Structure 1
Amino acid sequence: MTTFPSLLRLFRQFLAFFGVGLAAAVVHYGLLIGLVEGAGADPIPATLAGYVAGGVASYILNRRHTYGSDRPHREATWRFALVALVGFLLTWLFMHLFVDALGASYLPAQVVTTGIVMLWSFLAHKAWTFA
């Protein structure tokens, strides 16, 4: 049975994850927009490059501020990378679907994709990467 204090801890942890996600999103979206608007890159590879750059920021900040993990880096890093790989593939899949198949603008498509991948990442990191 879940108690109120454990739900409150989970909510606080999710808020920390969301804050870290905002910082990582600034990195991700900054690179995405810079590559598309500044360099004329295709949005799909540009968002994948942004995802990787944001992922590095996410690992560093989530390890310390969200999960307070003491799991050694040699264990947490490969776990984080595996979860990130699934997120990378989800990013590619949904951006391809929204932008290429449905013709959506890349920024609104990225916002929806970010929400989907954020939920996946939070649950996977909580249950496995930093558990």
Structure 2
Amino acid sequence: MKQLLRFAAVGVVNTGLGYAVIFACMYLAGLDAVASNVFGYAVGLVASYVLNRTYTFRSAAAAPGEIVRFVSIFLLAYLANLGALLLLIHRVGMHEGGAQLLAGVVYFGLSFMLNKYYVFAVNRAGTAGR
């Protein structure tokens, strides 16, 4: 339960940081919305990896392999989120706002489980993610 709460706290921090970068790029640096979004998400993704590695899961494994797994899981969880969103809106007929919330739960749950048991998992031999 403690890891789940830490994971959620890291999510709040990296989301806030990502939005801060997005708005700083748009309103202080004069970048367009798309470029600002790319920079914000990149910063948020890096912050998420570093904080989850050090704070949530306290990993000591080699970082290069973890980074590849982390980005892969991020993409997989995002695609699951998008799939759930589209399913809920177009097949179930759910209101878009409610669908966003439920799809977010799918993203959060899948991301936590895969980060815990795949990205930052260390087996008895000391190798990560296997």
TM (normalized to structure 2)?
Answer: 0.64
Change (3 A) 1:57 1:97: farther
Q: Which amino acid aligns with 2:6?
A: A
3-state SS of the aligned residue for 2:82? Answer: helix
- Once residues 105 and 56 of structure 1 are traced to their aligned partners in structure 2, the CA distance between those partners, rounded to angstroms, is 29
The residue number in structure 2 matching 1:78 is 68
2:49 is the counterpart of 1:59 = yes
- Once residues 16 and 58 of structure 1 are traced to their aligned partners in structure 2, the CA distance between those partners, rounded to angstroms, is 11
Structure with more helix by fraction: 1
Give the root-mean-square deviation of aligned CA atoms: 3.3
The residue number in structure 2 matching 1:35 is none
- How far has the Cα of 1:51 moved from its partner? 6.6
Q: Which amino acid aligns with 2:83?
A: L
Structure 1 unaligned segments of length 5 or more: list them. Answer: 1-10, 32-38, 42-46
The residue number in structure 2 matching 1:13 is 3
The residue number in structure 2 matching 1:105 is 96
Q: Which has the higher contact order (CA 8 A, sep 6+)?
A: 1
**1:51–1:88 CA contact under 8 A, matched in 2:** no
Alignment of 1:4-43 (within 5 A): 11-26=1-16
Structure label with greater radius of gyration: 2
**2:82–2:103 CA contact under 8 A, matched in 1:** no
- How far has the Cα of 1:112 moved from its partner? 1.8
- How far has the Cα of 1:96 moved from its partner? 2.2
Change (3 A) 1:120 1:64: same
Aligned residue pairs total 108
TM (normalized to structure 1)?
Answer: 0.64
2:113 is the counterpart of 1:128 = no
Structure 2 unaligned segments of length 5 or more: list them. Answer: 23-31, 122-130
- What fraction of aligned residue pairs are identical, expressed as a percent? 28
Alignment of 1:77-96 (within 5 A): 77-96=67-86
Q: Which amino acid aligns with 1:13?
A: Q
3-state SS of the aligned residue for 2:107? Answer: helix
- How far has the Cα of 1:29 moved from its partner? 7.1
